[in-house]
Structure 1
Amino acid sequence: MPPWRLRADGLDLAVKVQPRARRPALGGLSPDGAALRIAVAEVPEDGRANRAVCEAVARALHLPNSAVAVLHGAGARQKTLRVTGDPASLAPILEKLIA
């Protein structure tokens, strides 16, 4: 089961975030397979890491930054992101990211 749930206007994406990473990266699944792994260099203060996560996902999906927002888990490493866009075009890109 993929770490996203399709919606009419996009999808909800489960992510596991590693803040303060030496090398930012996006891809692969968490060890339990329930979330997309994202490493960001930003610190988790004042929403900086959340903004970096949203920007990284938006860049990977070829969307504007405003199309990705934190839905749940703003203060946690496990988050759910709301991605607005065509779900039929977003799902294949996410498939490549988890491969």
Structure 2
Amino acid sequence: MAAWSVTPDGLAIAIRLTPRGGRDAVDGVETLADGRQVLKARVRAAPSEGEANAALVALLAEMLAVSRSQVSLTAGASARLKRIVVRGDGEALAARLQKRICEI
């Protein structure tokens, strides 16, 4: 299973987030023990009071050149594994994400 998929309303992304990771960055794609693929991301923010989630939303919005309001956390608010939905043209967002991952 790919780390992201195009949906009718945009792009769904599975993410493994590391809070207090030293810098805000996406580190590529990782395959979990169960075979699922996730996008590896890290943020400087602590995991308290939603700070790490907010930093992740900001990081993805900047990376995909969309507004923060287009990026929403749909699952995993208090877990390392999260699901993010980015509203917009799913095909264009997927292409942009793929290009950015290849640059890593």
TM-score over 0.5 for the alignment? yes
The alignment partner of 1:88 has SS state of: helix
Aligned residue pairs: how many? 99
The answer to whether the Cα contact below 8 Å between 1:4 and 1:13 also exists between their aligned partners in 2 is yes
2:95 to 85, 89, 92: 92
1:24 alignment counterpart? 24
The alignment partner of 1:35 has SS state of: strand
The answer to whether the Cα contact below 8 Å between 2:15 and 2:41 also exists between their aligned partners in 1 is yes
Q: Report the Cα distance in structure 2 between the residues aligned to 1:31 and 1:86, rounded to whole angstroms.
A: 26
Match for 2:21: what amino acid? A
The answer to whether the Cα contact below 8 Å between 1:61 and 1:90 also exists between their aligned partners in 2 is yes
Provide, for residues 41-73 of structure 1, a one-character-per-residue CA deviation record: whole Å limited to 9, x for no partner.
Answer: 000000000000011001100000011111000
Q: Report the Cα distance in structure 1 between the residues aligned to 2:25 and 2:11, rounded to whole angstroms.
A: 21
Which consecutive residues of structure 1, in runs of 5 or more, have no partner in the other structure?
none
Which range is displaced more, 4-13 or 74-83?
Answer: 4-13
1:7 alignment counterpart? 7
TM-score, L = length of structure 2: 0.87
2:82 to 79, 82, 86: 79
CA RMSD between the two structures? 1.4
In structure 2, the CA distance between the partners of 1:4 and 1:38, relative to structure 1 (3 Å rule), is: same
Q: Report the Cα distance in structure 2 between the residues aligned to 1:4 and 1:31, rounded to whole angstroms.
A: 13
Q: Which of structure 1's runs of 4+ aligned residues deviate more than 6 A? A: none
